[in-house]
Amino acid sequence: MTTGRKSASKIAGSVKKAENRKGDVLQLVQAEPRPASTDHEVTTVPDTTGQQGDNDKSGSDLQGTAGRPFWSGSITIGLVNVPVHLHTMVRDKSFSFRLLHREDGQPLRYDRVCTRDGRVVPWSETVKGFEVQKGEYIVIEPSDLKAIAPVSDRKIRIEKFVYSLSLDPVHFGTPYILTPDRSEEAYSLLRTALVDLARAAVGTITLRTKEYPVVVHGYRGGLILTTLRYANEVTSPEAFEAIIKLPVPREAELGLAKRIITDLSGDFSIADYHDTYRDAVEQLVKKKLAGEKIVYEIPHPEEAKELMQALKETLAALSEK
């Protein structure tokens, strides 16, 4: 669990060595919480932990496996520090395909091409631009961004504690698992106190170049950190006129609707749901690997034969009229 931990990370606010930083940044790119306008969508985190498979399930409905930390720092409450590691908690399990050249089967790559002369531009000749109006950009130098970037001081700064249930789940972004960094006692103390009081800690974290509001709360024996979305990133249903103008349901209909809902009520288990498309793609890949011929089932002609006969007769009858 603690592999990859840097010796300096335990001391709050310590400055990292350059070669360590590089490795850290690389990992961050892989597991970064997805910003709204990502241009480098990362769909899979390489599984370097060797913990594939289901041997780690222990009967839980959540079936992901433990991985390495990608960030280390501390939870800071006033003068108290609790050193922690941050681990990825959710992984997108959707498939991504690689685009190939049909002729020779070679993978294609994307190039940065100048829109004026169609020439491929090397990274060294690029600079960031911000579109102020259509077709008009101002150039932003790396130094400009560096000057305003939030200081990544390896702290999860807790500002206050709120009731867990007072948080609106629509603001929840990506959850991460916090593990103690040789701070088992302090970690356990914080977790137990939060759970006993049904409170969650609210504060901020800086991941790479972005500062996120976060909430830290107890979950299944551990602490998890969830990034929060800013108020202007979330649309309220009240922004829709159709919703403001909804009619008040009638008493009798409401009673009936409630009865139906009550009748259909049950316990939620995410394990009831499966990504059938993913399963099908996996099957497809397996078969192709085994050199099997793929037979596609098109669910149509045979069973519809009787309908076609009926259609012929009806069309004939209709055209007589």
Partner 1 sequence: MTGTGTPGQGGDPDKALSRVHFTNLKKILYPVPGITKQQVIEYYIRAAPKILPFLKNRPLTMHRYPDGVGNFDFYEKDAPEGTPGYVEIFPRYSDTANRQVDFVVCNNLDTLLWLANLASLELHMTLSTTGSYESPDILLFDIDPEPPLTFDEVIRVAHIVREHLGNEGLVPYVKTSGKKGLHIVVPLAPGHRFDTVRAFAHGVGKALAKNTPHVVSEFPHSRDPGTIFIDYLQNAHGKTMVAPYSLRGSPMATVSAPLNWEELVPGRIAEDFTIMTMLSRDTEPWRGIFDNRQKISI
* Contacts with partner 1, residue ranges (CB under 8 A): 242, 245, 247, 299-301, 303-308, 310-315, 317-319, 321
Give me the least distance between CB of 69 and partner 1, in Å please.
44
Closest to partner 1 by CB, 124 vs 319, is 319
In the bound state with partner 1, the residue whose beta carbon lies nearer, of 99 and 316, is 316
The CA distance from 172 to 192, in Å, is: 22
| Residue 264 beta carbon to partner 1: minimum distance, rounded to whole angstroms | 9
DSSP track, 27-44: HHHHH----TT-SS----
Please say which residue, 108 or 316, places its beta carbon nearer to partner 1: 316
Nearer to partner 1, 189 or 304 (CB): 304
Nearest distance from residue 293's CB to partner 1, in Å?
A: 25
The number of helix segments (H) and strand segments (E) in the chain equals 7, 9
CA R_g for the chain? 27
Q: How far is the CB of 273 from partner 1 (least distance, A)?
A: 18
Q: CB nearer to partner 1: give 109 or 250.
A: 250
If you search the block for the tokens 């629509």, which residue do you land on? Answer: 170
What whole-number distance in Å separates Cα of residue 294 and Cα of residue 283? 10
Nearer to partner 1, 62 or 243 (CB): 243
Alpha-carbon span 42 to 95, nearest angstrom: 11
Give min distance, CB of 300 to partner 1, in A.
8
**Could you give the C-alpha distances from 227 to 7, 210, 222, 241, in angstroms and in order?**
26, 11, 17, 30
Which candidate, 150, 155, 209, 213, places its Cα nearest to that of 181? 155
Phi and psi, residue 72, nearest 5°? -135, 140
Q: How far is the CB of 311 from partner 1 (least distance, A)?
A: 4
Tokens of 215: 């909430």
Nearest approach in angstroms of CB 281 to partner 1 is: 22
- The residue among 106, 66, 105, 103 whose CA lies nearest residue 88 is 66
Comparing CB distances to partner 1, the nearer of 165 and 264 is: 264
Phi, psi dihedrals of residue 242, rounded to the nearest 5° = -60, -30
